[in-house]
Structures are given as structure tokens and as C-alpha cells.
Structure 1
Amino acid sequence: MKTKIGFSVALFLVFGHFYSQEYALVRENGLFGYINTSGEYAIKPQFKKADNFTNERAAASMGDKWGYINTSGEWAIQPEYEHVKEFNSGLALVNKGDQWHYINVSGETLETPVSDKYYDFDNGVAFFKRGEKIGLLGTDGKLIVEPDFDEIKPFIDGYAKARKGELWGMINKKGEIYIPIENQEIGDYNSKGVWVKKQDTFGIVANGNFYQVKNADKIWEFTDKSDLTYARSNKLMGFINNKGEWVIPPTYDKARDFSQGLAPVFMNKNWGYINEKGEKVIDFKFKDAEVFSANGLAPAKEKKWGFIDKTGNWAIQPEYDITAGLSFSIFQKNLEKGFINGLARVKYNKEWGFLNAKGEVLGNKWYENAEVFDDVKN
């Protein structure tokens, strides 16, 4: 059994991303189903409870027990569990008879050392707890790192925040130290840099060096959409580079990330947009504003939400809601706003649907609830 599951997980990890197929979880007449990006039902509503697809499996329930369906809506793993978690790295945590264990996408059990608490796999590793210490477990069921840390946060692009005692650092999936464990606080990994708080000083760790950010009292994470991130000094927001230099001085009451060369910023009780030189590009005239998507549109709000282009003109009139609050899926994820792969999830007259960049409703249809589209293989 152990060899068999190791082989099937390895096959998943090797062949798991050859094509993209996106579904969105929707609810109609109280039942859950899935639509494709053409707005057609890929799986008709039939489930009492359901979640998004990951690893070509989605947790679903028609009664009191949970199982997993495949992308055709057939039971890949029969509903026999009291509790389930989503698949990641070809493995999922399930609970049956008050016992947690890991299964693969075929429903086979993974043999692992006994843990004081079981954690989801994430990008090929899972946390492993023994006593009060945390280590790392591989998809073969063997320990990668003996329990030696007091806390480890989820991995991002192969790196995770890790704590020993009161101090934080960062490790890779082998448990090797990437950023020394010597900081009071630390941000999430990004290849451009990681913010840290060290001895009451905020700064950026980039390329193995620490760069102090003068007078900063908070820093936000870098993203892949810009070489700048925002930071706060004396209650005002500005933007810094990964050498800790203020490129745009602290000027604004609030700020969000740069994307497509523009960032939403807030001052004088309104939101507008600036470029990476700090120049105003779109007037401060919105009650709220989000970052631009890849298609050049951004959510912006007057009384309701609409979508503006990079000149600040309405591409889609402000007559929608875009914030779902808590996700209705059991794992409470996919709360993104704006356009994702060409479609934006919006709410209109208490129902949810999807708009394209022209403002057309996908499939000309609205739903009781709707999750954003996601690749079924992720």
C-alpha cells in the first residue's frame, strides 16, 4: 500500500498540469453544481454541500457523509467520511470514526508516523506535530524535518515563516534556514524581498542583506506585479523598493498594491490612482478602489461597484456589489475581487454571476451563490 500510494502521488505531481480546465462552484435552488467558463453546467446542481476542485477532486455531500467527485461529477471516492479537507499535492486529510488520516486521489491511505495533530499538505509538504514542536512531512509519508520549531506558517513559493521561541525567520521545504530566526516579526516570501521587524526596526531582507526602512512602522508584502510595495510612517502611506528606499514618500491615508503600473491610494476622503513616480493619473473621486487586473480594468466604487479603465472612465457602470464576505465553500477561500482570467464575479439584486470585460453576464444567468473560477488541477 505504501509503495502504491507513493507511485500514484508521484504520477499526479508529474502529470498534474498538462492542460487548464476551469470550473466555478455555484448554487441554484439550494443545490451545488459547477459551471465552465462558457457559462454551461459541467456538473448539474445536485449536492447538498460541495467545495471547489483541487487536484481534479472536489469534496461533496448529498447527505451526512462526505466523499470526492471527479470533474465529470462522478464519485471518485465514495461518501463515507464525517469530515474532509481539500486535496493538495495529491493528498487530502479525511476523518472517519474520529480518526484522521491521509488519502490519495484514488482513496488509498498513506501510512505516516503518528502525529499529535494532522495538517493539510501544501505544495508537497505537511506540518508534523510531536508534543509542542512542529516538523515537516513529505508526500511519501516520511519526515523531512524532525519537529524542532514552535510554529511554521504555510509555504509560499517554497518558503515558510518559522518561529522558535519568540523569534521568527524563514525556512525552505528542506527545513534549511533562509532568513535567520532573529526577528520579532516577518512577512511572507517574495523573490524581491521579505519585510522583517528586527529590534524595533523595520526593513527588507533581499539577496541576503538587511535594508532598514527609515521611520517605517509597518510594511506590506511585495507582489509579482511591481518592484515597489507600500509602507507606513507616522500614520501615512508611501512606497518603497527592495533596498528599503522611499520611492514615493509617505503621503496617503491608505494604499494598495501597484498593478499594471498604477496603485489605488486614499486621501481627502476619496480614492484615486498614482503611477510608480508618485504622479496622480486618475482623480481622487471614488469611495473605494481596488487594483487593476491583467485586462486593464479595476473595481471602483461610487454607491455601487463598477469597473474603470486606466484613464479612470467607467468601462462597466457602477451597479454591482463585488465583496462576498465569507466564502460559502467549506474551506472559505477564493475571495478575490476584480477580473480573474477574463471574468469578474459580481452581485446584482441579491444574486451572483460573472461579467466579461464588456459587462456581459456569463450565460445570461445569475445564481444564489458563486465562487470564482479556478483550475480544477490546482
Structure 2
Amino acid sequence: MKKSFLFLLLLFIQFANSQTPVQELALVKKDGKYGYLTKEGTFRIEPKYKNAKNFSEGLAAVEDNGKWGFIDMKGTLVIPATFDNVKYFGSGICVVSKDKKWVYINTKGEVLTAPASEKLFDFENGVAFIKQGNKIGLMNPKMTVVLEPKYDVIKPFENGFAKVKNNDNWGIINTAGKIVVEIAYQEIGNYYKATTWAKKGESFGLVAAGKFIPVDGADKIWDFGTQDLTYARKNGKIGFIDLKGNWAILPIYDKAKAFSKNLAPVLVGSKWGYINLKGEFIIPPTYSDAETFSSNGLAPIKESNWGFINEKGKIVIPTQYGITSNGFVLSLFSDQEKGFINGVARVKNEKKWGFLKPDGTVLGNQWFDNAELFQK
């Protein structure tokens, strides 16, 4: 009976450990040194590195005496600092430079033999590009070619799909290299629910089930986001179309951004507000700029500076922060990275960077010379 109890206890501990999520850490710079912050606002790894990079797949590159190696989330150097330059891990593989040569390594630091390629590319979505001559193909993490180099261009994969180009025509493939939208369009968008926008001849429309459906009067269409509407332009004004190519909200706005939480920012004249799925203003256009709502129901809005509103339009975090860096606006990041991500928002205050919590307090009550998004 005692042995059975111990056996069950060990199984429970093993299961609990297997269910423990990998914690996200943020790379921050304080007093000229880099360290890694937890979402509790404390340092998991104290600032001590002259140079360091974000975590990816549980490993982060750090510089030691002019060479790069990799630490784990405990700060232990698990791959010795012997590299001249490094990128980020994806699918357990990283591109590194050593002795003036770029190679792939695994999480043990072992050099891998890869298919012939004129350039080494990072793994994303379980594949990496290979380049031979002027053509691009794909390989998998087993270093096996899954798509012989045949395309002039392959754009980065998003959610398992990528735009490809041959002879000035665009289409879409999946990570197995299979064509899901034929290479037949002058322009093409992202792949969302087996649908994409495209330009065919002089017409803009949607492609679904291999069929091109023109959108009445559209001369530009933007990518679908997280909802089944996207914005499009007609006669210089912006409206919203559905997955069938119908104008769900008439094009009457000067600018617009994606729907999220059933609300979308739109510009009327010089002011931004938010409309619902019927095109009705739920939050009046009073802001000089506005971004999409995050999953927690808060959206960044700008008066003289940036703050956050809830879905009823109430300002819950005062407009006293910046979200620009080195002259580049935060639109360098995706829409979902402009506000709250998994509980915190990256903001700037008096030339320092930090993280806000939804109640408006500053994570750890600390500001930094620089702060990157949380990664794991």
C-alpha cells in the first residue's frame, strides 16, 4: 500500500511538472546592462550582460568577452559563448556564425548538416527557406527538403501559410509546399479561414475555394485580422467587407483599422473613434489616434500622449505615455502588440520604458533604458 501511494505521488508530481507553463521573460536594459524580468516585476536574471537578446524556445543569446552563447531561463550558460553572431531558435534550431561561416546548431550547440543553400534562414512555422540561384524552397527541422527551390519569392509564413511569387504572379502555399491559392494574382493578402484578398487584372476581390470574387468598386483591401470582416477602400473612402466580399459597412471613413472585440477604430476628419459591426459609433471620434482592442478589452488611444480605454470608451489609464522609439512608431509591431499582451503593455515614460498592468500600475514599479516584449 505504501509503495502504491509513493508511485501515485511520483506520477502526480511528474504530471504537475509537465503541465507547468514556460514562463515569459522580458529583456530589459538597466544601468547599461541587460537582464531578464518576470511578469511579477522581479528579475529572474539580474542585469549583467553587455549585450543580450530575447528568449526564444527557452534559450536566450548573451555576449561574453566578445563571443555569443546561450543561457536557459535560470541564467545557466547551456551553450558556450563561442560564436561571432547568432540569431533566434525556431523548431529547436538556430543560425549562428563561427569562424566567418554561418551554420545551423541544435539546442545542444551541435552543428547540423543542412541542404545546399546560398543563405541560411531562420526556422519559423516549422520550416526554413533554402536559396539556390534565384529560386527559393523549403526544408524542415530534419534538414530535409520539403519544397525544391522553385519560387522567385516566398514571404514569411503566418499561421502556416505564405505568399509566393513566380513570374510577377502571387499565390499561397502551406508549410508542406502545397499550393492552396493558385499562382495567378498581381497582389495577394494573408490566408484567413481558407480565404484571401487578391488583385486580378484591375479588380480587387476575395479568393475562396479557388474562385475569385470581385468586390464592388474596391481599389485596395487589407488583411483579415481576428474577425470575419476586413477593411477596404472605394473611391478614397474606407469601409468593411465580409468573407463573401459584400460591403458589410459602407465605405464612408477616411481611415480604419481591424475589428477586435467587435469594435474597430475609424477616422472621420482628424479624429478617431470606434464603431460596432453595424457601423454605429460606440465610442465617438474624439482621439488623435487609436488602436485595436486587446483581448483583455483595453485599447490604446491618443490625445497628446497615449493611454487606454475600455470597451465603453472610459479612459482607465491616463493619456500620459508614449509608444514610439527612435522615431519609429509602434506600428512596427503587429496590431496585437500595440496594447496589452498577456496581461502587460509596453510603454514609454520620460525616455524610459516599462510595463503597465491593466489597473494602470507599473510592473515592479520600475522603468528601464530599454524594454522588449515578453518572450519564452
Normalised TM-score (structure 1) = 0.90
Q: CA deviation at 1:121?
A: 1.1
Q: Which letter does structure 2 place at the counterpart of 1:316?
A: I
Paired residue secondary structure (1:244): coil
Paired residue secondary structure (2:324): coil
The answer to whether the 8 Å contact 1:323/1:337 transfers is no
- Is the alpha carbon distance of 1:16 and 1:259 closer, same or farther for their aligned partners in structure 2, counting shifts above 3 Å? farther
Aligned partners of 2:358, 2:77: CA distance in 1, in Å?
Answer: 36
Partner of 1:342: 343
Q: Tell me which of 161, 169, 172 is aligned to 1:170.
A: 172
Partner of 1:24: 26
Partner of 1:300: 301
Q: Which letter does structure 2 place at the counterpart of 1:143?
A: V
The answer to whether the 8 Å contact 1:48/1:63 transfers is no
Partner of 1:195: 197
Deviations for 1:29-79, whole angstroms, at most 9, x for unmatched residues?
011111010000011101111111111111111332111111111211111
The answer to whether the 8 Å contact 1:24/1:372 transfers is yes
Partner of 1:6: none
Cα RMSD over matched residues?
A: 1.9
Partner of 1:372: 373
The answer to whether the 8 Å contact 1:298/1:338 transfers is yes
2:311 paired with 1:310 = yes
Q: CA deviation at 1:179?
A: 0.4
Aligned partners of 1:316, 1:326: CA distance in 2, in Å?
Answer: 24
Aligned partners of 1:365, 1:272: CA distance in 2, in Å?
Answer: 32
Q: Which letter does structure 2 place at the counterpart of 1:59?
A: A
The answer to whether the 8 Å contact 1:67/1:79 transfers is yes
Aligned partners of 1:293, 1:54: CA distance in 2, in Å?
Answer: 23
The answer to whether the 8 Å contact 1:184/1:198 transfers is yes
Q: Which letter does structure 2 place at the counterpart of 1:259?
A: S
2:361 paired with 1:360 = yes
Q: Which has the larger radius of gyration?
A: 2
Aligned partners of 2:257, 2:79: CA distance in 1, in Å?
Answer: 42
The answer to whether the 8 Å contact 1:254/1:266 transfers is yes
> Taking every aligned residue pair, what percent have the same amino acid on both sides?
48
In the TM superposition, 1:175-324 aligns within 5 A as 175-191=177-193, 193-224=195-226, 226-324=227-325
Aligned partners of 1:198, 1:369: CA distance in 2, in Å?
Answer: 45
Partner of 2:116: 114
Deviations for 1:278-322, whole angstroms, at most 9, x for unmatched residues?
001111100110111112111111111111112212111111112
Paired residue secondary structure (1:311): coil
Normalised TM-score (structure 2) = 0.91
Deviations for 1:337-374, whole angstroms, at most 9, x for unmatched residues?
11111111111111111111111111111111111222
Q: Which letter does structure 1 place at the counterpart of 2:118?
A: D
Deviations for 1:102-147, whole angstroms, at most 9, x for unmatched residues?
0011101111122111111112111111111111111111211111
Q: CA deviation at 1:271?
A: 0.4
2:179 paired with 1:140 = no
Give the unaligned 5+ runs of structure 2.
1-16
Aligned partners of 2:355, 2:176: CA distance in 1, in Å?
Answer: 41
Relative contact order, CA 8 A, sep 6+: which one is greater? Answer: 1
Q: Which letter does structure 1 place at the counterpart of 2:156?
A: P
Q: Which letter does structure 2 place at the counterpart of 1:87?
A: F
Paired residue secondary structure (2:122): strand
- Is the alpha carbon distance of 1:200 and 1:145 closer, same or farther for their aligned partners in structure 2, counting shifts above 3 Å? same
Aligned partners of 2:77, 2:141: CA distance in 1, in Å?
Answer: 24
Give the unaligned 5+ runs of structure 1.
1-14
2:64 paired with 1:62 = yes
Aligned partners of 1:122, 1:315: CA distance in 2, in Å?
Answer: 37
- Is the alpha carbon distance of 1:63 and 1:190 closer, same or farther for their aligned partners in structure 2, counting shifts above 3 Å? farther
- Is the alpha carbon distance of 1:287 and 1:21 closer, same or farther for their aligned partners in structure 2, counting shifts above 3 Å? same
In the TM superposition, 1:32-43 aligns within 5 A as 32-43=34-45
Aligned residues: 356
Q: Which letter does structure 2 place at the counterpart of 1:341?
A: N
- Is the alpha carbon distance of 1:107 and 1:16 closer, same or farther for their aligned partners in structure 2, counting shifts above 3 Å? farther
Aligned partners of 2:148, 2:248: CA distance in 1, in Å?
Answer: 43
Which stretch of the first structure deviates more once superposed, 116-125 or 27-36? Answer: 116-125
Q: CA deviation at 1:192?
A: 5.4
The answer to whether the 8 Å contact 1:356/1:362 transfers is yes
Q: CA deviation at 1:208?
A: 3.2
Aligned partners of 2:317, 2:133: CA distance in 1, in Å?
Answer: 55
